[in-house]
Amino acid sequence: AKCLCCIGNLSAHQSGLLQKLLQKESAYDYDLIVIGGGSGGLACAQEAAILGKKVMVLDFVVPSPQGTSWGLGGTCVNVGCVPKKLMHQAALLGQALSDSRKFGWEYNQQAKHNWETMTEAIQNHIGSLNWSYRVSLREKAVAYVNSYGEFVEHHKIKATNRKGQETCYTAAKFVIATGERPRYLGIQGDKEYCITSDDLFSLPYCPGKTLVVGASYVALECAGFLAGIGLDVTVMVRSVLLRGFDQEMAEKVGSYMEQHGIKFLRKFIPVMVQQLEKGLPGKLKVVAKSTEGPETMEGVYNTVLLAIGRDSCTRKIGLEKIGVKINEKTGKIPVNDVEQTNVPYVYAVGDVLEGKLELTPVAIQAGKLLARRLFGDHLEKCDYINVPTTVFTPLEYGCCGLSEEKAIEVYKKENLEVYHTFFWPLEWTVAGRDNNTCYAKIICNKFNNNRVIGFHILGPNAGEVTQGFAVAMKCGLTKQLLDDTIGIHPTCGEVQKREVF
Amino acid sequence: MLQCATDPAAQLGKKVAVVDYVEPSPRGTRWGLGGTCVNVGCIPKKLMHQAALLGDRIRDAPHYGWEVPQQVPHDWRKMAEAVQNHVKSLNWGHRVQLQDRKVKYFNIKASFVNEHVVCGVTKGGKETLLSAEHIVIATGGRPRYPTNIEGALEHGITSDDIFWLKESPGKTLVVGASYVALECAGFLTGLSLDTTVMMRSIPLRGFDQQMSSLVTEHMASHGTQFLRGCTPSRVKKLPDGQLQVTWKDLASGREDMGTFDTVLWAIGRVPETRSLNLEKAGVNTNPNTHKILVDAQEATSVPHIYAIGDAAEGRPELTPTATMAGRLLAQRLCGQSSDLMDYDNVPTTVFTPLEYGCVGLSEEEAVARHGEEHVEVYHAFYKPLEFTVAERDSSQCYIKMVCLREPPQLVLGLHFLGPNAGEVTQGFALGIKCGASYTQVMRTVGIHPTCAEEVAKLRITKRSGLEPTVTGC
């Protein structure tokens, strides 16, 4: 691809070039360049290619402070949803092993877990996904470049590969889908000694006794599966658990974790991380300060995992060169309801978007629909209302719609009816597991036919249960319709039939 | 029908009595209060299914890093005791609940004297007469024994017995192709028992046949043996206690023989109506099925006598429908409401090793009702994420959504084959009750990573002829 900057003297050709520019697409190397080969980027790129457009995807992973890097596919595939769910499954299998004895399986030893076996298997699976994405892009004739992309001027980006070689590309339209990376604390020792979710899933040695800093779903999910495979885990929380989620449910999630051996240090923040011993893992000393007073504490851990949030990768991709506005504080990109930035030919999808949910399926949906609107004459916009999600903590939490707090804020308490119930999954009976822990609640708007505006369930397979409820809510589910629907017996999902005020 | 008795009726100040009695099975098995579901149906079935699934998880565990011995044996006795204890706790729970709600419970075998009076006989032979303004018949059904197979009654068992066996059934022949047959064969195989299913013709009659084939295909590739197109002709007990079964291959006419420790008949159920003396009350039954004829109000041919659950004609034989029908009936009888039971779009799940959840019409029914040109079927083969690392075969993990072809493409039926099918299907059943269309399902964002999200991602139609296998993340 030839850059305009590589063509000698511009002025002599100006009128001819202007002609070409006015012919729009044909003047550019590509119809669409997508920066970022993650869930949103790939979905958008492939859909555009299916619609016959000439598309390029740039994907590049800047190694983490610990040196971790990965292949094509973005956060979800490499350091998010996929390895997370697999490690969660490993932890659930540990629980299944102990349940199995109650069901007659003669397996009497205390189960031991081997970290390396698990991570190798998981990394192999991820490798196969990286490969399948590359094949898929090739099959759809999408150009893929493993280079770091940044804007240099309007309609033009510079792509720098691992060796430092630069190439320029131009396109009629751009989609920014660069996602996010874990945030660090900004304290002494954080980047040198701490790891994040970027490193955890491919860690070549068992993390051992771990301190997880943070109360995000990332923090709780990681703490959950690490404890589930037998490690000594502590979670250090600055204030609330799962900020933004329904707080009654969040506390129940935390409470279950605590009852099952995970230690919580509430209202503390780390101020220093020091290395006591080198090793794989080594030994780290953490000094923490209370958020409420002068109290400090110290602890020694093999691993410190920071999970305090994620920052958008928008500050070093040349957006200022073309005038794309970002939220200076958060780094996120504000877009309109068609995912367009303030610069008309530049769009964005995925975790970089301001005010949108940071979820893979949302990014995929947005990316696909965007491509269809840009190149396929479709009009459909991404529907961000009532997007369901699930937190894969040891006791899973699925939800769709509003939290109780948000519902009260929007509709006022007197206009709401909350139906709730505890339940005991049948499979837990014989296994001798807690009978007053699993919980479900639905929040209804009394003045709109008792319409279900919030659904929350804490129990096994919460994701599987919640998905269909999300469809029902999309179709305007009311309490009456819920009551009229027959339950499937025996399941956890049918628990909605037993909900009482 | 405890729901009918306990929920609204007794709470609304009505004087209520429940009469329950279990005639021992030919093998002598009996059980407590709660009916089929609690004692010899859903509950013990799902628990034994869970035991079998845990066996699979033990096999998965080493792939995920757990150090587990290669072969882990299973102790039937330990499982049976745990399951039976749980069932007994439920029997107890029901008795306490009836007591709390001041419902009188009689453990007697009742039959009609006239349309307002029943006569009950205790185990000891003592007689009691009870009269009532309204009577609800909820006597359910019992497994059918074959009538023309020598040795069937003496040597075979049924689902009435399998959950109460103290000793392992050992090498088992399951005769039948119902969900009962397949679910039992499924968990027996999963518990490492040598299991064979003998079917006269098709599996899961009445269910979507493509899905039914996938169910049995999965079972066959996971250790269950199938003898298709065969019917047994004789069961003989051998000197060492084993059972010798002779059967005929219907296609070739050839006879064959095999030896088993247990023969389990799962060839259907008959309603418990023949010993009720229904003619004394004037209650009509279907002469072929012996089920009680009812209207939309669950009323029989006698206005103040009702029938619900498996004994009623034309009703799905499922616990939740019976429960709901019972509750609504009680509410109507007490003047609390006039709501009728809606039997449309009742979801259900077959708890075979690979579970099959469904709601709405099968593909065949949809095509029969609307015509092939008016039906669009979206489908996909998918791989549950958890199967990847475990190196499990996902060839039969499949979803199809049967819709009307005309926009917005109303969903007529959903069929899901995969892990946790019941959990997946429940929510979608709600969606269908709300009149979900394909468009609405597609606009719903998926939860990642789950199996259920694959339903919201269905894109390929059967009509297109394209490969429906999902790849990638």
Contact partners, residue B256, CB within 8 Å, separation at least 6: B230, B246, B247, B248, B249
**A-B contacts (CB, under 8 Å):** 288
* Residues B445, A388: C-beta atoms closer than 8 Å: yes
What is the DSSP track for A308-376? S-EEES-TTS-HHHHT----TTT-PBP--TTSB-SSTTEEE-GGGBTTS---HHHHHHHHHHHHHHHHS
Amino acid identity of residue B400, one-letter, is K
Q: What is the pLDDT of residue A107?
A: 83
Q: What is the pLDDT of residue B471?
A: 67
B381: DSSP letter:
E
Residue A408 belongs to what H/E stretch? Answer: helix A404-411
DSSP, collapsed to helix, strand or coil, labels residue A144 as strand
Residue A232 confidence (pLDDT) above 50: yes
Nearest to A61 by CA among A200, A178, A194, A195: A178
The neighbouring-strand residues paired with A346 are A174
Q: What is the pLDDT of residue B454?
A: 96
CA dist A308 → A239, A296, B20 (Å): 12, 20, 59
Answer for the pair B106, B18: CB distance below 8 angstroms, yes or no. yes
Is B448 a known active-site residue?
A: yes
The whole-angstrom distance between A416's CA and the closest CA on chain B is 21
The whole-angstrom distance between B308's CA and the closest CA on chain A is 15
* Residues B65, A383: C-beta atoms closer than 8 Å: no
* Confidence bin at A496 (pLDDT 50/70/90): low
Q: What is the pLDDT of residue B2?
A: 52
* Confidence bin at A1 (pLDDT 50/70/90): very low
Answer for the pair A155, A171: CB distance below 8 angstroms, yes or no. yes
In angstroms, the CA B55 to CA B51 distance is 7
Contact partners, residue A412, CB within 8 Å, separation at least 6: none
Which positions in chain B touch A47 (Cβ < 8 Å)?
A: none
* Residues B51, A476: C-beta atoms closer than 8 Å: no
Nearest to A487 by CA among B259, B369, B202, B319: B319
Q: What is the pLDDT of residue A384?
A: 87
Structure token pair of residue A360: 């893979």
A417 phi and psi, to 5 degrees?
A: -130, 130
Cβ within 8 Å of B, A 224-243: 229
Q: What is the pLDDT of residue A9?
A: 44
Answer for the pair A284, A300: CB distance below 8 angstroms, yes or no. yes
Burial of A98 (0-12, 13-18, 19+ CB in 10 A): middle
Beta strand ranges found along A94-202 (DSSP E): 112-113, 143-145, 148-153, 156-160, 166-176, 180-182
* Confidence bin at A72 (pLDDT 50/70/90): very high
| Residue ranges of the binding site of A | 85, 149, 214-221, 309, 351
Q: Per residue, what are the HEC states of B55-91?
A: HHHHHHHHHHCEECCCCCCECHHHHHHHHHHHHHHHH
Cβ within 8 Å of A, B 39-58: 42-43, 46-47, 50-51, 54-55, 57-58
What is the DSSP track for B392-446? ---TT-EEEEEEESSTT-BEEEEEEESTTHHHHHHHHHHHHHTT-BHHHHHHSPP
CA dist B263 → A289, B169, B172, B245 (Å): 69, 9, 6, 8
A19-45 confidence digits (pLDDT tens): 545 555 468 999 999 999 999 999 999
Contact partners, residue B188, CB within 8 Å, separation at least 6: B52, B169, B172, B174, B195
Q: Does B350 touch chain A (CB under 8 A)?
A: no
Q: Does A43 touch chain B (CB under 8 A)?
A: no
In angstroms, the CA B2 to CA B95 distance is 10
Structure token pair of residue B461: 């139609």
What is the DSSP track for A445-457? EGGGTTEEEEEEE
* Confidence bin at A14 (pLDDT 50/70/90): low
Instruction: Report chain A's mean pLDDT, rounded to a whole number.
Output: 92
Answer for the pair B372, B402: CB distance below 8 angstroms, yes or no. no
B430-469 confidence digits (pLDDT tens): 999 999 999 999 999 999 999 999 999 999 999 999 999 9
Residue A209 confidence (pLDDT) above 50: yes
Structure token pair of residue A125: 């699976």
* Residues B445, A359: C-beta atoms closer than 8 Å: yes
* Residues B426, A493: C-beta atoms closer than 8 Å: yes
Answer for the pair A95, A230: CB distance below 8 angstroms, yes or no. no
Structure token pair of residue A113: 């877990």
In angstroms, the CA A107 to CA A96 distance is 12
Neighbouring CB atoms inside 10 A of B44's CB total 22
The whole-angstrom distance between B368's CA and the closest CA on chain A is 25
What b/e sequence results for B420-446 when a residue is b if at least 16 CB atoms lie within 10 Å of its CB, and e otherwise?
bbbbbbbbbbbbbbbebbbebbbbbbb
Residue A11 confidence (pLDDT) above 60: no
- Specify the residue for token string 């039976």: B84
Which positions in chain B touch A95 (Cβ < 8 Å)?
A: none
CA dist B428 → A445, B369, B437 (Å): 21, 22, 11
- Specify the residue for token string 């990965």: A70
Residue A10 confidence (pLDDT) above 60: no
What b/e sequence results for A206-234 when a residue is b if at least 16 CB atoms lie within 10 Å of its CB, and e otherwise?
bbbbbbbbbbbbbbbbbbbbbbbbbbebb
List the domains of chain B with CATH numbers: 1-142+270-334 (3.50.50.60), 144-267 (3.50.50.60), 354-463 (3.30.390.30)
The whole-angstrom distance between B359's CA and the closest CA on chain A is 10
Amino acid identity of residue B393, one-letter, is D
Question: In terms of CA atoms, which chain B residue is nearest residue A360?
Answer: B448
Answer for the pair A405, A248: CB distance below 8 angstroms, yes or no. no
Higher pLDDT residue, A500 or B245? B245
List the domains of chain A with CATH numbers: 27-75+117-182+311-376 (3.50.50.60), 183-308 (3.50.50.60), 395-494 (3.30.390.30)
Answer for the pair B283, B305: CB distance below 8 angstroms, yes or no. yes
Q: Per the omega criterion (within 30 degrees of 0), is the bond before A394 cis?
A: no
Which residues, given as ranges, of chain B have pLDDT below 50? 1
Q: Does A477 touch chain B (CB under 8 A)?
A: yes
| Percent of chain B surpassing pLDDT 70 | 97
The neighbouring-strand residues paired with B141 are B271
Radius of gyration in angstroms for the set of CA atoms belonging to chain A, rounded to a whole number: 25
Nearest to B112 by CA among B302, B324, B257, B394: B302
Q: Per residue, what are the HEC states of A180-194?
A: EEECCCCCECHHHHC
In angstroms, the CA A246 to CA A416 distance is 15
Rounded to whole angstroms, the maximal C-alpha distance in chain B is: 69
DSSP, collapsed to helix, strand or coil, labels residue A155 as coil
A91-107 confidence digits (pLDDT tens): 999 999 999 999 999 98
B382-410 confidence digits (pLDDT tens): 999 999 999 999 999 999 999 999 999 99
Contact partners, residue A254, CB within 8 Å, separation at least 6: A220, A241, A264
Q: Does A112 touch chain B (CB under 8 A)?
A: yes
Answer for the pair B16, B337: CB distance below 8 angstroms, yes or no. no
Q: Per residue, what are the HEC states of A57-69?
A: EECCCCCCCCCCC
In angstroms, the CA A482 to CA A454 distance is 13
Which positions in chain A touch B443 (Cβ < 8 Å)?
A: 383, 474
- Specify the residue for token string 């034989």: B317
Torsion of CA B333, B335, B337, B338, to 10 degrees: 60
Answer for the pair A351, A312: CB distance below 8 angstroms, yes or no. yes
* Residues B66, A90: C-beta atoms closer than 8 Å: yes
Which ranges of B295-376 would DSSP assign to H, the alpha helix?
319-333, 363-370
DSSP, collapsed to helix, strand or coil, labels residue A279 as coil
Q: What is the pLDDT of residue A486?
A: 79
